[in-house]
Amino acid sequence: MRRIRAAVAETPGAPFTVRDLDLGEPRPDEVLVRMTAAGICHTDLGMRDTWPGRLTPMVFGHEGAGRVEAVGAEVRGVAPGDRVCLTFASCGACEQCATGHPAYCLHARTLNFSGGRADGTTPLSRDGTPVHGGFFGQSSFATHAVVRERGVVPVPADLPNEVAAPLGCSGQTGAGTVLNRLRPEPGASLVVTGAGGVGLSAVMAAVAGCDPVVAVDPVPARRALAVELGAKAALPPGDGLVAALRDLTGGGAHHVVETTGRPEVARQAVAALRPRGELALLGLGGEVTFDVMPLLAKGVRVHGVIEGDSHPGRFLPDLVGLWRRGLFPLETLVTTFPFEEIGSAVRAMEEGGVVKPVLLFD
């Protein structure tokens, strides 16, 4: 047992409050990670607000990066001292995991969103009372986390902490949607709606092969960033949007990556596609209604994508390789905050001025 600091949501929707907790030792298949950085994702806020009360108090956070401090007896892939990126949990044995699609693991819900381990325990406690964790298998809004070996991917020592952290969720979600799922033909057109951490990661992954890449976002600074990252144009949402997108893409886009989760944006995305175009839906949202006619008349293909359909053990090293060649400059999206200032980091993200807040630990 060790004393740690963690940002706790005491009840659903409550602010993250940094407090002392106790963390148990890693089990044989687990790894103890000392956090160096943790990104904040909209999913942390959205799920905190809708989280069941019976699973609180709860520690969120799912974009951790750190250093391995101790490993269980059965762990072979990492050793104390290794730098790692934390990512979502998967079982490694089911049909989806076995075929290289762990984001669709049949046990994903239990392993990522049950408030602890699959057996109902949690390594976190306070004064002997369990505190829920295991968010995306990690709960990385904490100085330390105990995670299963499959949830850590070794990264090189020279990868900056603030790059390693968002790699494991928003980075691989945006980039993986383009590179693993859509796999655009060279020169295909690609539109990204929503220029946040996920959307801009998709832009970075797309600009190497697609032409044009166009971003859509209401915030001028985010549009400017999209252009800086290689988008040919960046447009605000609004009345003339669909016509402008069709114009820029020579009659409609081959691909649209929709990250906002807003029904009206998803409908505009369909309208902006060319015949047999592909729509990838990434944004966590409610229900979207579509007029079926344009979908079938245009032969639109719709993808639901989570975590970029990536196999983190293989894909994250690929992304590190792109970063090293200057082709995936994730640091351009990041603003860092000290861990204890998580409240300011959340506010900055909600206000829209900060794309990807990353908490740094001493």
Binding site for Zn ion (CB under 5 A): 41, 43, 90-91, 94, 97, 105, 169
Label residue 316 exposed, middle or buried (CB < 10 Å: 0-12, 13-18, 19+): buried
Closest approach of Zn ion to the CB of residue 37, in Å: 14
Closest approach of Zn ion to the CB of residue 43, in Å: 4
Question: Which residue's CB is nearer to Zn ion, number 17 or number 99?
Answer: 99
Residue type, 6: A
Residue type, 278: E
Cβ atoms 22, 2 nearer than 8 A: yes
Question: Which residue's CB is nearer to Zn ion, number 105 or number 256?
Answer: 105
Question: Which residue's CB is nearer to Zn ion, number 123 or number 197?
Answer: 197
Question: Which residue's CB is nearer to Zn ion, number 41 or number 85?
Answer: 41
Closest approach of Zn ion to the CB of residue 333, in Å: 13
Closest approach of Zn ion to the CB of residue 57, in Å: 21
Cβ atoms 276, 302 nearer than 8 A: no
Closest listed residue to residue 229, CA positions, set 244, 217, 243, 214: 214
Closest approach of Zn ion to the CB of residue 102, in Å: 6
CA 349/CA 196 separation, integer angstroms: 10
Closest approach of Zn ion to the CB of residue 138, in Å: 11
Question: Which residue's CB is nearer to Zn ion, number 43 or number 56?
Answer: 43
**b/e per residue, 215-252, with b = 16+ CB within 10 A?**
bbbebeebbebbbebbbbbbbebeeebbebbbebbeeb
Q: List Cβ neighbours of 321 (8 Å cut-off, separation of 6 or more).
A: none
Bond from prior residue into 212 cis (ω within 30 degrees of 0): yes
Question: Which residue's CB is nearer to Zn ion, number 94 or number 227?
Answer: 94
Question: Which residue's CB is nearer to Zn ion, number 271 or number 284?
Answer: 284
Closest approach of Zn ion to the CB of residue 169, in Å: 3
Closest listed residue to residue 174, CA positions, set 352, 330, 357, 346: 330
Q: List Cβ neighbours of 179 (8 Å cut-off, separation of 6 or more).
A: 205, 308, 315, 318
